[in-house]
């Protein structure tokens, strides 16, 4: 893209850059463990993992209940439970990704997030 094309497409941004007054914005979202839930390995036998369940929660307390339940059933290790709890406390519920509503996979399928 040439400078002229850039100025035509993004006039306000080009002006800010020319004046040296570009703004910065802090991004608070942190997606660390959510990547595990994004791409299921086997589409025909897809089973939600703990991150998928956490992304359906409305509160941190709900997410903590899920962690405890899966730990009790030995579906996650105690180390994994500690990591998830630490991320919940440090970065919040949405650090695992956006909320997945009921019927998410019916509307979006397995490949689309």
65 domain residue, yes or no: yes
pLDDT in tens, 71-109: 999 999 999 999 999 999 999 999 998 888 776 665 555
Domain tally for the chain?
A: 1
5 domain residue, yes or no: no
User: What is the rounded average pLDDT of the residues 3-20?
Assistant: 86
16 domain residue, yes or no: no
User: What pLDDT is stored for residue 21 in this prediction?
Assistant: 76
Domain span at residue 64 reads: 28-108
61 domain residue, yes or no: yes
4 domain residue, yes or no: no
How open is the CA angle 50-104-37, to the nearest 5 degrees? 30
> What pTM, to 2 d.p., does this model score?
0.55
User: What pLDDT is stored for residue 70 in this prediction?
Assistant: 94
Q: Where are the alpha helices (DSSP H) in the chain?
A: 3-9, 11-19, 35-38, 50-54, 60-72, 78-91, 104-108
**Which two structure tokens, joined as six digits, stand for 6?**
């850039």
83 domain residue, yes or no: yes
Of 8-22, 29-43, 67-81, the one with minimum mean pLDDT is 29-43
pLDDT at 40 over 90: no
Say whether 82 sits in a helix, a strand or coil.
Answer: helix
Residue 10, sorted as left (phi over 0), alpha (psi -120 to 50) or beta, turns out to be beta
């Amino acid at each position: 893209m040439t400078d002229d094309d850039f100025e035509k497409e993004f006039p306000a941004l080009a002006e800010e850059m020319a004046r040296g007054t570009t703004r910065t914005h802090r991004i608070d979202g942190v997606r660390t463990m959510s990547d595990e839930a994004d791409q299921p390995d086997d589409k025909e036998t897809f089973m939600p993992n703990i991150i998928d369940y956490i992304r359906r929660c409305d509160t941190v307390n709900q997410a903590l209940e899920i962690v405890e339940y899966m730990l009790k059933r030995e579906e996650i290790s105690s180390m994994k439970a500690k990591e998830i709890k630490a991320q919940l406390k440090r970065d919040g519920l949405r650090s695992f990704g956006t909320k997945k509503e009921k019927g998410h996979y019916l509307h979006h399928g397995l490949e689309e997030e």
